[in-house]
Structure 1
Amino acid sequence: MTTSSIRCRVWWARPSIETPRLLGLLDTVERERHAAYRLAVDQVRFLTARVVAKALAADALGIEPGRVNLDSTCPDCGRTHGKPRVVAPQGHPPGRALPELSISHSGDLVAVAITDGLPVGVDVEQERDVSVDDLVRLTLSAGELDSFAAVAPPDKDAAFFTYWARKEAILKATGRGLAIPMTRITVTPWDTEPRVVDSQASEVDANRMRMAQLDAGSGYRACVAVIAGPDFPATGWVSEHDADPLVAKLA
């Protein structure tokens, strides 16, 4: 893997601190969203994700994190739970691409993916004790259901959350999220390298979607997806980094 081939960077953080300086990086809408969370752990996850995203965008734009404005307006309903979009700061050169971001958090992990303008989606899922059998028909296509049925019982949870993370990463990359039914997309079996096999959704072009499995650690499943052009490298296009020192510096 060479530095020049890396088109996407994924940064990992463990949400643990909430300080006035970090809260000061949120705009009015973000503060309202932060306050709306009932549990303190959810507030810290949201804050950490926002701070990391703004710090990464600021570095890409050559400005201070406090000057980064993220617009999370959902294209379908107009609420502020959509994919974060970097708003061009004052003085940004016309025609120059803005960085693209995607955010995910689950359990004790926050993931933020950033590219040089390519649409990107990232998702991390903590394996949880849930009845996955009640969820698979809302998540898996007909072909995937056949593959899932053959998974050994001890691996069912890992397999399900792998499928979920892969599909949510794809949907986030499109900017439409769960407005696109997961069942309209078929990906490779959970224990193989991620790839779109078939898509019945107009927003997802299997020939342009590139995916990579991420190392989220034990008990987690994670994936990143980008919508790429014909010159996109087949491998070596993503790297993973520790964002905890970045948060600590801003705190």
Structure 2
Amino acid sequence: MPQRLPTPDGIPAQIELWQVAFDLDHGDDAGDELVLSAQEQAHARRYRRSDDARRFRCMRALLRRLLGERLGCTAQAVPLVRNAHGKPQLDGPGGLSFNVSHAGGIGLIAIAPGLALGIDVECSIAAGPEELLGMARQVLSPHEWAALPAPLDGPQFLRHWVAKEAVLKALGLGIGEHLQSIDIDLETHPRYQVFHQQPHWPAPARLHASALSTWPGHAAALAWIDA
């Protein structure tokens, strides 16, 4: 059952946050696939793991229902398209933004008018020190790398990771090629400071990120861009 989460302090009040706890021991909701487009159904079938396919169907169906309620149309009629980087968005002009993420046992959706949004959730990393360092080299900027504690703290690294992904999703950019272009200052937890030197991106002062409280064994973050 989807749950509307209270908007944390310091996050714009117009942002709606929704959480789903997946019950992967039972089958899909019979109505979920009925609201998906043919392309979305085909996308779900391409997942190698059945649990991943079920998470996708559940979250996409919920997204369509939530957007349909706000747009005054059926879930099936919500005009979803993908941008050049694969991020789902509404087709045509409109001020409603949203973003979706799911991992492990939960899924999260953020919806708001007038704000570009990004949300990310990840499971705790079960990795040894060397594997964790290898992941950090791909995610952290040179400045963040230089400030790493020794030994590397897994939960702290995960907070960096979800915050960076949330910011890049708010920017509408591909994740892999830009992770090292962003610096995240975790010292102001739960609100994070965001820095970058990309001339064509919104100024850092317009970029915001915040940790979200979520289930044990997961880390989550929300990002938004001031209009």
TM-score, normalized by the shorter chain, greater than 0.5: yes
Partner of 1:32: 42
Partner of 1:134: 134
Report if aligned partners of 2:194, 2:207 keep a CA contact under 8 Å in 1: no
Partner of 1:6: 13
Q: What is the CA distance between 1:51 and its match in structure 2? A: 1.2
The structure-2 alpha-carbon separation of the partners of 1:180 and 1:207, relative to structure 1 and needing over 3 Å to count, comes to farther
Q: Which has the higher contact order (CA 8 A, sep 6+)?
A: 1
Partner of 1:220: 218
Which TM-score applies when normalising by structure 1?
Answer: 0.77
Q: Secondary structure at the match of 1:178?
A: coil
Report if aligned partners of 1:141, 1:182 keep a CA contact under 8 Å in 2: yes
Alignment of 1:93-108 (within 5 A): 97-108=94-105
Report if aligned partners of 2:189, 2:210 keep a CA contact under 8 Å in 1: no
Q: What is the CA distance between 1:99 and its match in structure 2? A: 1.5
2:60 to 50, 53, 59: 50
Q: Secondary structure at the match of 1:30?
A: helix
2:88 to 84, 87, 92: 84
The structure-2 alpha-carbon separation of the partners of 1:161 and 1:190, relative to structure 1 and needing over 3 Å to count, comes to farther
Q: Could you give the per-residue CA deviations for residues 151-199 of structure 1, whole angstroms, max 9, x where no partner exists?
A: x65xx11011110000000000011131542111111126723433420
Report if aligned partners of 1:86, 1:98 keep a CA contact under 8 Å in 2: no
**Distance in 2 (alpha carbons) for counterparts of 1:200 and 1:175:** 17
Report if aligned partners of 1:169, 1:225 keep a CA contact under 8 Å in 2: yes
Q: What is the CA distance between 1:111 and its match in structure 2? A: 0.9
1:67 to 63, 73, 77: 77
**Distance in 1 (alpha carbons) for counterparts of 2:194 and 2:121:** 21
Report if aligned partners of 2:124, 2:218 keep a CA contact under 8 Å in 1: yes
Which TM-score applies when normalising by structure 2?
Answer: 0.84
Q: Secondary structure at the match of 1:24?
A: helix
Report if aligned partners of 1:159, 1:191 keep a CA contact under 8 Å in 2: no
**Distance in 2 (alpha carbons) for counterparts of 1:26 and 1:48:** 10
Q: Which has the higher strand share?
A: 2
**Distance in 2 (alpha carbons) for counterparts of 1:85 and 1:139:** 26
- List 4+ stretches of structure 1 deviating above 4 A: none
**Distance in 1 (alpha carbons) for counterparts of 2:178 and 2:30:** 40
Partner of 1:247: none
State the percentage of identical aligned residues. Answer: 25
Q: What is the CA distance between 1:72 and its match in structure 2? A: 2.1
RMSD: 2.1
1:174 to 162, 171, 188: 171
Runs of at least 5 residues in structure 1 that lack an aligned partner in the other structure: 77-81, 89-94, 230-251
Alignment of 1:185-196 (within 5 A): 185-189=182-186, 192-196=189-193
